[in-house]
Structure 1
Amino acid sequence: MEMKNFRSVAFGGFDKEEVIQYVQKTAQESADTQEALRKENSALREENESLKKQIEVSLREQAETARREGAELREKIRVLTAELEELRPQALSYQEVRAQVGDIECQARRRAGELETATTSRLNALVGDIQKQYQDLAGAFDVTAAQVSAELRKIEVSLSQLPRAMDQAGKELSELVSATGGEKKV
């Protein structure tokens, strides 16, 4: 805060008009500073709310994507299960034929084994795909969570600096009041 030297007058100490102007000027400067800090605080709060909304939207979108992908995977599993159920009667049919004819039995076993191997391979591949998609989704979530945490830390730092600025403004105001010989009100 700037120090002011007041002109003396012959009677009564200092020039009252000059002192009054100085007090009014410093009071206006303090009010301007407080208003700027209020606006900055409001802007930071709005930014914080905006970031929270963005995070919520992002999480909802990711959850919806995961739900859709899960539904698609469940449908694939359902189709493969239906296909498997469709193939089981064929394997049973081959077993009945085996009792009647030895050659047919051999062919039926071989074909049933191939079908089972193919279905098992397809199921294993599907499970592998599902696991990979899950890992990719979990990785994307971790990255998003880290980014969100970093943004929240930035906001926290910005907000933590606000009380110091307000304390400094209050201190300057107290010094001004003390310097003018007024009563201290903080």
Structure 2
Amino acid sequence: METKNFRSVAFGGFDKEEVIQYIQKTAQENTDTQEVLRKENNDLRAEKEALQNQLNLVRQERESSARKETEELRERVESLTAELEELRPQAQSYQEVREQVGDIECQARRRANELESATAARMNTLVSDIQQQYQELAAAFGSTATQITAELRKIEVGLAQLPRAMDQTGKELNGIVSALKDPKKH
């Protein structure tokens, strides 16, 4: 809090008008500071909400993309499976071709397993990326909230000290009033 030197008046004490102006100015500064901090807090909350919405959109987009990719892979697997089924009767007719059909079937299954594994790995990576982004956003919000809380505590301390200062000023004003009423006592 700022230290203020008040002008003395002729009968001992301070200029009442100056003291009152100082108190009003200090109260207005505290009110202005509170309003600024309240606005900053609201802005940060709005920013957090916007970031949360962005995160939700990214999640939805990634999930949609992963579903689409999985469906495409499933269709590809079904296509390969259908192709394999078409080749199976021919393989039974031709003894020497049977091994080749068996190889094709194994390759198709291996490819399907590889595609499933690749899709699962890709989805895990996407989920991990989303979690990391969320943690970064949460950390940024936590840090900002801590700073705002610290500033609000400072304001609270300043406001808590204001009644004592007002009491002291009241005592001084009472002393001035007493001195003006009975100049012999002082």
The question of a shared fold, defined as TM-score above 0.5 by the shorter chain, is answered with yes
CA distance in structure 2 between the partners assigned to 1:144 and 1:60 by the alignment? 11
TM, length-normalised to structure 1 = 0.82
Partner in structure 1 of residue 68 of structure 2 = 68
Alignment correspondent of 1:165: 151
Query: In the alignment, does 2:111 pair up with 1:111?
Result: no
- Offset at residue 42 of structure 1 (A): 0.7
Are residue 151 (structure 1) and residue 157 (structure 2) matched? no
CA shift digits 1:104-163 (9 cap, x unpaired): xxxx12212102202321321232133123213312321231122112111011112222
List runs of 5+ in structure 1 lacking aligned partners: 95-107
Unaligned runs of 5+ in 2: 170-186
Query: Are 2:141 and 1:180 aligned?
Result: no
Matched letter for residue 120 of structure 1 = C
- Give the length in aligned residue pairs: 169
Q: CA RMSD in A?
A: 1.9
User: C-alpha distance in 1, partners of 2:67/2:122?
Assistant: 14
Relative contact order higher in (CA < 8 Å, ≥ 6 apart) = 2
Paired residue secondary structure (1:59): helix
> Equivalent residues in 2 for 1:1-186 (5 A)?
1-11=1-11, 13-92=13-92, 94=93, 108-181=94-167
Identity of matched residues, %: 40
Give TM-score, length-normalised by structure 2.
0.82
User: More deviation in 45-54 or 163-172?
Assistant: 163-172
